[in-house]
C-alpha cells in the first residue's frame, strides 16, 4: 500500500471506535484513579457518533473523513478529550494533500500533535495524551526517513504509542485534573495516553 484512500481513513476510525468500545471500562477505570471517571464512556460515545456520521454522510475524500470526525468529537464528547482529539483530526484535515502518501500522512499527523500540544498546553513528560502521540509521530518520521513501508511504519507508530502510554505510569501529572493530585498521580497510566495508543493501534490494523 503506497497511498491511503478514503476507505482507509474510514476503516481507521471504525477500528478506533471498536477498540475504544472494547476498552471503555478500562479507560474509565484509569480515569477514575486520576480524573473524572468518564474518559471511556465519553470517548466511546464520541467515536460511535463518528462512525454514525460517516455512514449517514459518506465522505468523498480523506480530508472529509477527518473533518467530519473532528467536528463530531468536538460536538459530542464532553470534557477535554473531545476538543483535543477533534483538534488532531481537524488539523490533519487542514494539512493533508491527495494522494495521501506516508510522508504526507506523517506531516499531517505531526501538525495534529502540535495542535494538541498547543490546545492542552502540554509537552512530552506532562503525563497526557501527548506522551503517546508524540512518540508515534516521531516513529512515523523515522519510518519516512528510513524508507519503511506504510504497514511497518504504522506498526512502529503503534508500538511507540503503547510504550509512551505505559511510560506515563511512573510520571507525576503536570497538566489537567490529574495534576491536582500531585504525587498521588504517580503509579497510574494516563487515560488520554492509553486511548491515544488505541488510536494508533487502530491505524496499524487498518493498514493490514
Q: What is the pLDDT of residues 104-146, one digit of tens each?
A: 999 999 999 999 999 989 999 999 999 999 999 999 999 999 9
Summarize the confidence of residues 25-42 as an average pLDDT: 88
Q: What's the Cα-to-Cα distance from 145 to each of 98, 138, 154, 159, rounded to whole Å?
A: 20, 11, 14, 18
d(CA 162, CA 80): 21
Domain 3-206 has CATH 1.20.1090.10: no
d(CA 106, CA 98): 13
Let me know: does 171 contact 125? Beta carbons within 8 Å: yes
* pLDDT the model gives residue 168: 96
pLDDT tier at 182 (50, 70, 90 boundaries)? low
Let me know: does 81 contact 39? Beta carbons within 8 Å: yes
Computed over every residue of the chain, the mean pLDDT equals: 93
What is the pTM assigned to this prediction? Answer: 0.94
Expressed in percent and rounded to 5, the helix, strand and coil fractions of the chain are 75, 0, 25
Instruction: Count the residues in the chain.
Output: 208
Amino acid at each position: 500500500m503506497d497511498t491511503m484512500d478514503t476507505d482507509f481513513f474510514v476503516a481507521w476510525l471504525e477500528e478506533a471506535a471498536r477498540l475504544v468500545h472494547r476498552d471503555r471500562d478500562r479507560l474509565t477505570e484509569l480515569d477514575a484513579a486520576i480524573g473524572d471517571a468518564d474518559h471511556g464512556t465519553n470517548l466511546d460515545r464520541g467515536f460511535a457518533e463518528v462512525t454514525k456520521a460517516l455512514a449517514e454522510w459518506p465522505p468523498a475524500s480523506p480530508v472529509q473523513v477527518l473533518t467530519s470526525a473532528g467536528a463530531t468529537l468536538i460536538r459530542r464528547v464532553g470534557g477535554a478529550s473531545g476538543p483535543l482529539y477533534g483538534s488532531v483530526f481537524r488539523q490533519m484535515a487542514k494539512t493533508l494533500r491527495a494522494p495521501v502518501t506516508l510522508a504526507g500522512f506523517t506531516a499531517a499527523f505531526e501538525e495534529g500533535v502540535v495542535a494538541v500540544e498547543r490546545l492542552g498546553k502540554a509537552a512530552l513528560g506532562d503525563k497526557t495524551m501527548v506522551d503517546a502521540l508524540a512518540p508515534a509521530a516521531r516513529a512515523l518520521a523515522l519510518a519516512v526517513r528510513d524508507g519503511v513501508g506504510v504497514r511497518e511504519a504504522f506498526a512502529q507508530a503503534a508500538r511507540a504509542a503503547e510504550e509512551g502510554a505505559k511510560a506515563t505510569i511512573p510520571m507525576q501529572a503536570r497538566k489537567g485534573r490529574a495534576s491536582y493530585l500531585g504525587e498521588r498521580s504517580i503509579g497510574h497510566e494516563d487515560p488520554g495516553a492509553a486511548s491515544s495508543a488505541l488510536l494508533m493501534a487502530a491505524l496499524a490494523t487498518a493498514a493490514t
